[in-house]
Every structure is written in structure tokens, then in C-alpha cells.
Chains A and B, each alone.
Chain A
Amino acid sequence: MAKRDRLSGNEAIAIALRQINPDVFPAFPITPSTEIPQYFASFVANGQVDTEFIPVESEHSSMSAAIGASAAGARSLTATSSCGLAYMWEELYIAASNRLPLALALVNRALSGPININCDHSDSMGARDAGWIQVYAENNQEAYDNMVQAYRIAEHKDVRLPIMICQDGFITSHAVENMELLEDEEVKNFVGEYEPENYLLNPGCPMAVGPYSITDYYMEAKRNQAEGMKHVEKIVLEVAEEFAKLSGREYGLFEAYRLEDAEYAVVMIGSAAGTTKDAIDKLREQGEKVGLLKIRLYRPFPAETIAQALKGVKAVAVMDRAEGYTNHGGPLGADVMAALYRARSQALAVNYIYGLGGRDVRVEDMEGIFATLKQIAADGDAGETYRYLGIRE
């Protein structure tokens, strides 16, 4: 039986974690993710979870301790944002290369500098090639649902990789929305027990983790690691299917919103997708064939299915909430355009940098994007493909 509630994204994640009852949660505060460990600490204080909560002295240590705990045979996680994630950078690679299925509740925030506490995706985009699974949410409900599904994906024996559950700082983390929660028992049964094969605290067989690897092994080790990533798309879909049976809410690798017959499409990640949907609904009423492809799984990148979904479009705008400093656009732009190229797409594509440091994205902004796409298609020329949305010139 689902329960309706009004919750912020951070509280929703914290509740999902209470229901999961993980073994070890090392944490360090950073805006806007601070509330997650804060709520969780109150669950610990009130005896609602069995978790060992470790209030460490930095984010580097929170990820380090989460790695130690996971290697030891525990289900572990941490939460962070922005510079906290950047501080963990080295550790992210180690978690992934050790094939440790731990979780990170990430609340996306701009990276310094200048220091800014609001949303963009520069933090998680910087971690996109670290070997983690990255799943993004549009709203509080999705953040909660993704967290509930996280360990089932990460711990799957064909995957065994760490997973980052991302939501937009303040926009979803702090805004309160109506949402549906699963019953504690339902979550417990859905997530199940963690049963690692090899772990440090296995009395039957000791284990050594974190070797020095000479050149003869390093490349094979990386290829071996990549194999885990190859299975992720399939497992994400399987877990989503099972989750849908439990919750009635359906998830895929991405959400295609009114995309079926769309001639002009936007590809984006996160909360601004909601704004874009409003723009689409408005334009559809005017007879415009516009649609949205909202990324849920960004790492690994489901390039083929994305290209397939964009097959019919004449022009596409890929929206990056992070700079790439390539002089060509952001990381999502690069990934989507490469996917279109491989699929021999004829679509004209442009890449927008938008919403940095919490810059608001309005329905009119997105209407403007669709108008631009229509013009590009009419001209048969994308023009400058590296653009900024809503910048003061």
C-alpha cells in the first residue's frame, strides 16, 4: 500500500535510505545535500535503523570509509554535492575499479569557483568517466524511486559497480512535492539482503583488495571493469520492470515525452525537463511537433536507443547544465551528437549550455529553443552549434 506524502527531495532520499536500512553511512555535510545525513542521523538517534553512521571529517573520508565498509561486506553509501564530490574524485575511481556496489546520493550543485551553492551538473559531469553508474531524477518522486532501485542495479552479480543517484540541488532537494512512498516492508523485500561473494570480513576466506598492478595487468583490469558496465542497461530495465509491478511507476533508460512524432526535440537531464514538458504541452496545443528526451541513465550512455528515439527529428537541442570547455559545448552534447553520428542521423543538432549556478530556466526559454530548432530546420543549417541559453551579452 502506497502512502501519499509531501516531501522535499532530500527527505525523500533519507526515507528511502531508512527503508533500505544500509549497514554503513559515513557522511560529511555540504549544501544542498546536508539534509540527507541530517535526517538519517535522526533515524539513527531514534533507533529506526541498524546503520553504523560515521560522521567523518571530510568528503574524501566519507567515500574512503564507504569503500572500506563495502569491501568489508557491508551495504554502504554516502551523500554529497559539488566540491564534496570533487574532493572524492580519486576515490570514485577506486570504488569502481574495486567493483564495489556502494551508492552515492548526489545533490547536484555548481562547482567552485566562484563559489555558488545552487544547481548545475558540473559536479556529476566531472565524475562521468569514473566508472560509476549515474542515474538522474527530474523530481522528488523519481529521486526516491531511483534510490530504492539503486542497490538492485549496483549489486547485481553481472554489474557490481557503484551507483550515483542524482537530483537537482534546491530545485528538487529542497522543494516540497506531493509524492507516493512505498511501505517499509515493500522496500525491504524489493531491495533484499546484500550477499557479496568475497569480502574482508568473510571468516571462511580472507581477501586482499587494492593491489599494485603492473603494466601487464592494468589494461586487462580496465577491460574487465568495462564488462560490468556493459550489463548495466539490461539490469536497469529489469529492475525498473520489477519496480513498476510494485509501485505502478514505470522507468526506462530515458523518458521520451511526446517524442514519437516530434520533428523538434530537446535532450536534457534533470528538473528542467519539467519546465520543458510545460513548453511542449503549450506548443503541441498550437500544433507544433515538439518533444523531449529526458536522460535517466547517463552512465553508461545508452547511445543506440537514444539515437533510435531521435530518429525522426529534424532538429535537436542538447541541453548541458555544465560547461565542457571544449569550445564545442558540454558533455551531454558530445555524447548525444556522437550517438547521432554513429546512427548516421540527418538531424541538425545544437548544444546549449544553460542553468549554470542555479540560473532559472523558464517555459518561455524552452519555447524559444523550439522556435530556434524550427528555424534551423527551415534554414537547413544549424549555424553556431555551441550556444548559451539566457546569457546577458
Chain B
Amino acid sequence: MSYNFKETMSKPERLAPGHRMCAGCGGTIAVRNVLRGLHEGDKAVIGNATGCLEVSTFTYPYTAWEDSYIHNAFENAGATLSGVEGAYKALKRKGKLDETYKFITFGGDGGTYDIGFQSLSGAMERNADMVYVCYDNGAYMNTGIQRSSATPMYADTTTTPVGSASNGKPQNRKDLAAIIAAHDVPYVAQTTFIGNFKDLHVKSEKAIYTPGAAFLNIMAPCPRGWRYNTPDIMEICKLGVETCYWPLFEVVEGKWILNYEPKKKLPIEDFLKPQGRFKHLFKKGNEYLIEEFQKEVDRRWEELQFRCSRG
């Protein structure tokens, strides 16, 4: 698949303006750009777990979706779209439908890593012909920034508040992309917003057009929850990648591929510093917390490099 940025950006917009997501939201940046992976003329049904994206993009009677859209509940986006995809197969088999449809579902990390995990795992294991896209902002943002299993260690959230006896979330985040890869699905990728979005656009197209189940994990910063300066989202994402906190990789038919290796891996402070949720790590005496964080980033980076070296 050859990639042309101008052509990609010239495609018709599939997420209409007028939705109620916050100014500067990373979630809709992810959605808009994933949908650019669809070929013009192909139709799609979009699924969505309950969350910011759902309540803001389909507030009766205003839908921001240019394609058919279904929201069912919080924990079942995988199963719901499986049902839609099953209907597609059945209607095709019965000769009731000619058009080509693609199936893409979006969930935040709460609806994906946590409450929707079983339904997602089921859909992936059954190899349903769909893409599950997690826009990962590392907490339950819709209900007001509660920790999820995607929340990084030491983040200050409303259920892991920093206090005299707490340094924020005590646990590391779950490595969901690896878990989904262990389902042996044909395509898994991790990406975020970098440069002209080529990485995200190409991975989206691959995910959508790979027959069978595909999973995209997209780091999509939330200015409210992360407490950075809203216009700086691209810088935050870049630091996530350059510090190897959020590496860009793919798992294609079980083969791990590292898509980007920083020339000089930046220290994790560079990613943590602009974010208010990590402010307490920069207090005098808390240097060891940053060291711990760095160790975990290094450990995971080495593990990923090892997986990718084996192919």
C-alpha cells in the first residue's frame, strides 16, 4: 500500500464537526485519522463503547458520524460489533446485500482494558472481521479521571490521588497490545500522533483491510486528565515516543515489528514534566520515583526490542 499524505487528507471527512468533545481532545483526533484508513466508496459500521466519545458524538438528535454507528453499552463494544459483522455475513450469504462494509469499533481504555476486556477478548479470539481501536488516554476520563489498568504508574488520578501517604497509582499499566497479540490475531499495532500521521494512517488502513480481527492501540492524550498545555498535544505524543514510553510497533501474523527507534532515547522526565498528573514526581526527595518509572520504561523497551529482534 503506497502512502500519500495529501490524498489521505483530501478524503471526505467521516467524523463531522459539532460533537461535544472538549477543545483539544485527543480522542477525536484518533477517530478522524483512523477513519482515513477507509477507502473511498467503502461503507462502514462504527461501534463505540460508552465513554466521552459516545456521549459527545451522538447526543440525540445530533450524530457526528457520517457512517452507520452503534453504541450499546460500556463493556460490550467487541460483542456488539461481532453481532453487526455476523449480520453482514448472514445478509451477504442470503443475497440481501451487495455493498462492502467494514467494521470499526472505538473504546477508551476503561471500556477496552478493563470493563470491556472480556468482550474484546472474545471478539478477537473468534477472529471477527473487525478492527477494535482503543483510544488510550490512561484513565476513566468521562467520569472524571479515575485510574484504569492503562493508567501509568504514579499518575495522580481521582481514585489514586497523591497525598501524604500516596505517590499516585501504585501499579504499572497493563500491556494490552501484547495481550491482544497473544490472541494470535492477524494484526495488532500501537501508534499515536506523530508528524504527518503516516504511522497512524498506514496502520489504520492495514487494520481495516486485514481480513479477521485487528487491534489498534492509540495513545490519545487528554488535556484535562493529563494536565498539559492543550495546544501541546503533538509535542506530548512525540515525547511519549522519543522516551520509549509509547513505542510504535506492529504484530503482523505473530511477527513483532518495531516501527521506530529513537536515535537518542530521551529520559522519561521529558515526557512526565509537562504533565500535571506527574507534578509530584518532581518534588525534592521524589527522584527515586522517576528512577523507578525509568526502570519500568527501560524494562518494557528491552522486552519489545527482544520480541522484535526475534521477528
Contact = CB atoms under 8 A, between A and B. Distances in A.
B266 interface: no
Contact of B71 (A56, A62, A209): A209
Contact of B70 (A26, A52, A76, A210): A210
A203 interface: yes
Contacts of A208: 58, 63, 65, 68-70
A68 B82 contact: yes
A64 interface: yes
B104 to A, nearest CB: 13
Interface string A15-45: 0000000011010000000000000000000
Contact of A211 (B71, B78, B79, B83): B71
The bracket for how many chain A residues form the interface is 35 or more
Given A57-B119, A91-B76, A206-B66, A212 B58 contact: yes
Interface string B59-73: 111010111111111
A73 B91 CA distance: 8
A201 B87 CA distance: 9
B139 interface: no
B199 interface: no
A65 B86 contact: yes
Interface string B39-79: 00001010110000011101111010111111111011011
Interface stretch (B92-100, B164-172, B202-210): B92-100
Nearest to A207: B68
A72 B54 contact: no
A60 B79 contact: yes
A364 interface: no
Contact of B87 (A24, A56, A206, A207): A24
Contacts of A60: 75-76, 79, 119
A209 B98 CA distance: 22
Contact of B63 (A57, A73, A211): A211
Nearest to A204: B99
B87 A69 contact: yes
Contacts of A71: 70, 84
B72 A91 contact: yes
A29 to B, nearest CB: 14
B88 to A, nearest CB: 6
A250 interface: no
Given A65-B79, A207-B68, A211-B61, A51 B84 contact: no
A66 B94 contact: no
Interface stretch (B23-31, B121-129, B184-192): B121-129
Contacts of B58: 208, 210-212
Contacts of A54: 82-83, 86, 126
Given A61-B119, A64-B73, A50 B83 contact: no
Contacts of A202: 68
Contacts of B56: 212
6 contacts: A56-B82, A60-B119, A62-B79, A65-B86, A90-B73, A209-B71
Interface of A: 23-24, 26, 50-52, 54-58, 60-62, 64-74, 76, 90-91, 94, 200-203, 206-214, 217
Name the 6 nearest CB pairs between A and B, nearest first: A68-B83, A65-B83, A57-B122, A74-B87, A210-B71, A61-B79
